[in-house]
Amino acid sequence: MGEIRVAVAGVGNCCSSLLQGVHFYGGAEASGLLHPELAGYRPVDIRFVAAFDIANGKVGRDLAEAILAAPNNAPRIAEVPKQKVAVRLGPAPDAAAKDALASIERAGGEPADIAETLKKAKADILVNLISGGSDKAAALYAEAALEAGAAYLNATPSAVASDPDWARRYEKAGLVLAGDDLLDQVGATVLHIGLLEFLHSRGAKIEESYQLDVGGGSESINTLEKTRDTKRLIKTEAVTGHVPYKFQLVSGSTDFVDFLGNGRDSFFWVRGRYYGNAPFTLDMKLSSLDAPNGGAVLIDAIRGMKIAKDKGLSGAVPEICAYAFKKAERRSLAEAYRRFRELTG
């Protein structure tokens, strides 16, 4: 089927997991993938052709080395050979407080010309994995991809694919757009949705529910310092849309725990009633690792975008958005999965 030429913005833990996964799943191994093959495309068909970051320890280094640079701490699952892709300096228009926990030592010099780099690399897709809350940078990358004729995948909470103006511009340009805010493979939001969908399907009446996270690592720091309110709203709206009535619901991150590293503890609580108004309470905990949680979904979304391009689609593709992202038109998990398979089958 040919290769899928991918550029990535943000060489953090999620990028590390994605790049390692492409090599981990280069052979017969398929455990942990949602789809080993989509319309003939396998994970190994993804080729990284450009990368951007702002950290001093990553800019200028080969992508294979940069994914291992501090503060990255994603689990090592594969040995990644040199990619012959040097990480270039990206834009940083979203100022961070000097005393922020998530502050990093920025590389010096002038940012790269993103659009020109994408053109020279002949990138099919630009994948945005920068820190959440960097709305201006997300828009700059979206603009550059549009100028370069590349599709744009926005894994951050910034409104791009969910913004009608951006969707219109990408559709007019004949380019594929997908986002926003990646829905993890075995994450808190998707599990919360699944629980509530199941309880509703069994005739239970849900009265109250919460899902709260504590985690370590840069993503948890970033959520608390920059996107806590935005993420809480997105997560709450994503979950609410899966039950056809209103009930009291809270969903979001609550604290940073340094010693959890790349781990995250998610707490779920549901109270409701079933036959004869009998009460029930569900109390559950999920422990997971942040970085690997995005890998399988990203690999699917990237291949889905290439397939959509092959089929001549453009603009925000609802089958990809609902399947892989929180901030999208809500469908049941089963319906979103079915429509994605119809697109990519």
Helix 114-121 / helix 135-148 crossing angle, nearest 10 deg: 40
pLDDT at 116: 98
pTM of the model: 0.93
pLDDT at 229: 67
Give, in words, the CATH class of 4-183+292-344.
alpha beta
Tens of pLDDT along 191-211?
999 999 999 999 999 999 999
Distance CA 37, CA 15 (A): 21
The angle subtended at Cα 156 by Cα 225 and Cα 211, nearest 5°, is 65
- Looking at CATH, the fold of the domain delimited by 188-289 is given as Dihydrodipicolinate Reductase; domain 2 (3.30.360)
pLDDT at 101: 46
Contact assessment for residue 9 and residue 148, using Cβ atoms and an 8 Å cutoff = no
Phi, psi at 224, each rounded to 5°: -70, -35
Helices (H), the chain: 13-24, 63-66, 114-121, 135-148, 164-173, 188-201, 217-222, 228-240, 290-310, 318-324, 333-344
**Would you kindly state where each structural domain of the chain is located, as residue ranges?**
4-183+292-344, 188-289
Say which DSSP state 76 is in: P
Q: For 236, how many CA atoms within 13 A lie in the half-sphere containing its CB? A: 18
CA dihedral 116, 117, 120, 121 (to 10 degrees): -150
Low-confidence spans in the chain with pLDDT less than 50: 99, 101
pLDDT at 99: 46
